[in-house]
Structure 1
């Protein structure tokens, strides 16, 4: 069996399934809507220096993700597709540089197996569509690591410039903390080789200086928005330095819990538990890869040991730092998964070359595949959506057919292909169910549909801030969140979104109005997984939302 050929086909199928999620007309709730709104302000106002949300200065993350998204908004218009597209492209950038590093270390076959692991890791698939900062960061970090590896071996100007550029982009995406992830593998490898002089050599000091120099656009933008205007109120305070927040509070302040954004509920084993589901379906392969790497560490292959040290250093240094802090979110670990994917790819190549000598791995991976496929089928039957059931059951039939055709290569299929099919089925269920559910019942999407074709007028949304923000992404008319009737315009026509339960108490404050639309919808799309299933099944209570056309207020 040609493993490389099979891996390429599995990669293509997985990427197509992953990319299909971009066709959803819905931007998922929470951070994604906030980030899209920030990018929309930049694109519509050509204001590339300031981050503004709901008319207020916003200071939390650096500019780079919003600059990239705003550029796509400028080119293709504001939509869910143009918001997700750049994130998915950077997911591919991460895959490309995962391939380059794996090929540099172990050759083409390992490179393709590493990419297969990368594209089929659940949390990487999910992040490529959710499009948090880590989606961009993964691509930048892997590019930086590759070029610094090449620069370490040969001090070419091309490697220096590209390494510094990718590093600077990573810093402008998430902060200076990202340099730890970028450099930890190299530093660990230098320590193993006892190349202590490289830590302060002119070659690497130049690389650091150039990387920091390339972050100038971020520093200038923050200085113009905040440091030049100490009277601005951010985090309930004045005299807030955007540069200080960027260099310290946004990352190290969270790590030490000394910044304006705190979390005191950290658990040192939180990310271990996250890894058990986020890295599916390859958790057992990663554990086996670490055991095999430890056993082979004292083999005579010094260069192989150095590569193992690089990958483990890049993964575990940041993983342990994340675990030590109290500010913990599951998507933080996404940036480390490419290094784990390469370790898995190396192990899978060796395991397949030995004709699958580990019966334990075969049994565990087969069990994982069965569990994932069964979970997807069971959940689709529970939700009882015909489209979801048809698609998921169709994928299950394909899995059974593939297993029959490839029955002579049962061990390789059970360890390599079946888990990919299993996680693809779970991912398809979640993405398709999410799209169908919130297309049917989210306030913003359905209000935009009902307002389409109506005369243009401002839209005011009463005590549903996140809905106003999201509706502004789907509707060309300006949308405003209001918490008090006194914020409504005194004259002129406008549209007003309000819960039916609040309408009576507001009637006395409104002028002449008529109802333009109505629906049983959900305001908050985020929540627990059981709530999501109830929404999909149609058993979760919805809210009666009215769309009014108002002629001023009394």
Structure 2
């Protein structure tokens, strides 16, 4: 399989991934919150304070919200403007995955690394959900690339860009990101017995410059929190935003002892191993084969030949081990490690392409994964019952079969690379299209916005549906406010009220005059378990009777 073929497959996967940006709806709860924070920055022109529902918000650093707010400034507030910068950072991550792979391996290995990167399920999903890890992947891969270049040649360009990407990562997720950025390089120095680099002035300068470039975050936190000890955050005053950024948000979460904790019962040492088995589909078997081959041939190779394997394993496993040891565990944490795993897979696949008649076990595994992914895509499409989804999956399966017939002389390469790719894209297409259709039918915010379209402009209040008010504010140009008690509703003036039927009696007596102008059986909280999502897609649960009133 030539490079042009691999490039087209990568582009095809990226286009399927990008099609999800056309959805008019923001899917996840975290994504809605992040959009609301960014929207406040854009509308208020207040780039220092993170505000949510009118209250000071202290959790994530500012960087991703600054980037999204800039997108809102340029394109207007919309779902597309929210997703676009995150997807661009996904592409940046892929670009530096290629550049980093080329430092160690051939062009074919680098392009195969990109193919793996753009088709890993959790990377594709995260590029559209747009959590902090989406931006973090681009920053971390850029930092790793430029620090490797700086290690080989101490040029000012590499120093400045390495420090800038590192600072971007720190201002996105915190100081722990520096472990992922530096662990591969430090492990490589240890392997090469270059201990003196650990205390070299060259690297202390790089560290100092990286910290200096994080000044915008520190200044913003000082202005919002440290300069205002009277503010109540986490139920107390005298809260330092800088201390939270440097310590509580990092070590507090690691030990699950900070102000934000996981109350589900603590972490499990094998949690992320189980996550990896589905999140890195369809290349899980390839990754394990790459690790086995790398370890088996390690002693036979020179120090220089092992450099790439050592760096990538160091970057992947040090952070993976830290994640596994922490008490605060969420599946999307591992997304930042997948580019390193993709390069390991790309190198292995490049070697395998030279002799496709070896490795029968891997071929069987890839066939099994292909059949599993296709079975899930077809079975779930039929189960949910959306005709357009069934048609799309049927078209993709037909395209794969047609490709197999046309390229039958390359059947082993297809089994190894192409069929698992098609299987993954089919399942991803099911998830994305089903999500869009389901939330278009049952999202409170999306449907309320449609029913309010064309009505006279007035503020909108959502009663005991805070997440709905945040999402509706992204779709609607009118001001949207949450209310948790009747006393928080206006006593004069015209406004619209969203309230569930079961809550109506609580607020009805406080309203002077109201008229129902809309209604629907919708879902307030869209996120949840996958079985819950499938029930929602079938219109079975968990729907609530939501009413829209014009109040005077």
TM (norm. structure 2) is 0.99
Contact map agreement 2:163 2:207 (CA 8 A) in 1: yes
Aligned-residue offset at 1:501: 2.3
SS class of match (1:457): coil
Note if 1:145 corresponds to 2:144.
yes
Note if 1:97 corresponds to 2:100.
no
Q: Distance in 2 between matches of 1:538 and 1:519?
A: 12
Aligned to 1:538: 539
Aligned-residue offset at 1:28: 1.0
Aligned to 2:449: 448
Contact map agreement 2:486 2:506 (CA 8 A) in 1: no
Deviation string for 1:136-174 (max 9, x for gaps)? 000000000000000000000000000000000000000
Aligned-residue offset at 1:409: 1.4
Unaligned runs of 5+ in 2: none
Contact map agreement 1:356 1:412 (CA 8 A) in 2: no
Runs of 4+ in 1 over 4 A off after TM superposition: none
Which runs of structure 2 are paired with 1:153-192 in the superposition (5 Å)? 153-192=152-191
Q: Distance in 2 between matches of 1:432 and 1:94?
A: 25
Aligned-residue offset at 1:367: 1.1
Aligned to 1:131: 130
Note if 1:299 corresponds to 2:292.
no
Q: Distance in 2 between matches of 1:239 and 1:123?
A: 39
Tell me which moved more, 460-469 or 327-336: 460-469
Which runs of structure 2 are paired with 1:23-422 in the superposition (5 Å)? 23-263=22-262, 264-422=265-423
Aligned to 1:506: 507
Aligned to 2:471: 470
SS class of match (2:551): strand
Cα RMSD, aligned residues only: 0.9
Aligned-residue offset at 1:179: 0.3
Tell me which moved more, 114-123 or 291-300: 291-300
Aligned to 2:431: 430
SS class of match (2:48): coil
SS class of match (2:512): strand
Q: Distance in 2 between matches of 1:144 and 1:29?
A: 28
Q: Distance in 2 between matches of 1:88 and 1:53?
A: 24
Contact map agreement 2:104 2:307 (CA 8 A) in 1: no
Q: Distance in 2 between matches of 1:285 and 1:132?
A: 27
Q: Distance in 2 between matches of 1:356 and 1:478?
A: 64
Q: Distance in 2 between matches of 1:266 and 1:161?
A: 38
Aligned-residue offset at 1:300: 3.5
Q: Distance in 1 between matches of 2:252 and 2:528?
A: 28
Q: Distance in 1 between matches of 2:507 and 2:248?
A: 42
Q: Distance in 1 between matches of 2:357 and 2:249?
A: 46
SS class of match (1:545): strand
Contact map agreement 1:29 1:524 (CA 8 A) in 2: no
Unaligned runs of 5+ in 1: none
SS class of match (2:496): strand
Aligned-residue offset at 1:517: 1.0
Summarize the Cα distance change of 1:216–1:414 in structure 2 as closer, same or farther, 3 Å threshold: same
Aligned-residue offset at 1:405: 1.4
Number of aligned pairs? 550
Q: Distance in 2 between matches of 1:29 and 1:272?
A: 24
Q: Distance in 1 between matches of 2:271 and 2:506?
A: 46
SS class of match (1:110): helix
Deviation string for 1:8-57 (max 9, x for gaps)? 11111111100000000000131000000000000001000110000000
Q: Distance in 2 between matches of 1:501 and 1:257?
A: 37
Aligned-residue offset at 1:541: 4.5
Q: Distance in 1 between matches of 2:68 and 2:293?
A: 42
Aligned-residue offset at 1:301: 2.4
Q: Distance in 2 between matches of 1:332 and 1:527?
A: 18
Tell me which moved more, 78-87 or 520-529: 520-529
Summarize the Cα distance change of 1:82–1:167 in structure 2 as closer, same or farther, 3 Å threshold: same
Aligned-residue offset at 1:65: 0.2
Contact map agreement 1:7 1:113 (CA 8 A) in 2: yes
Q: Distance in 2 between matches of 1:93 and 1:532?
A: 31
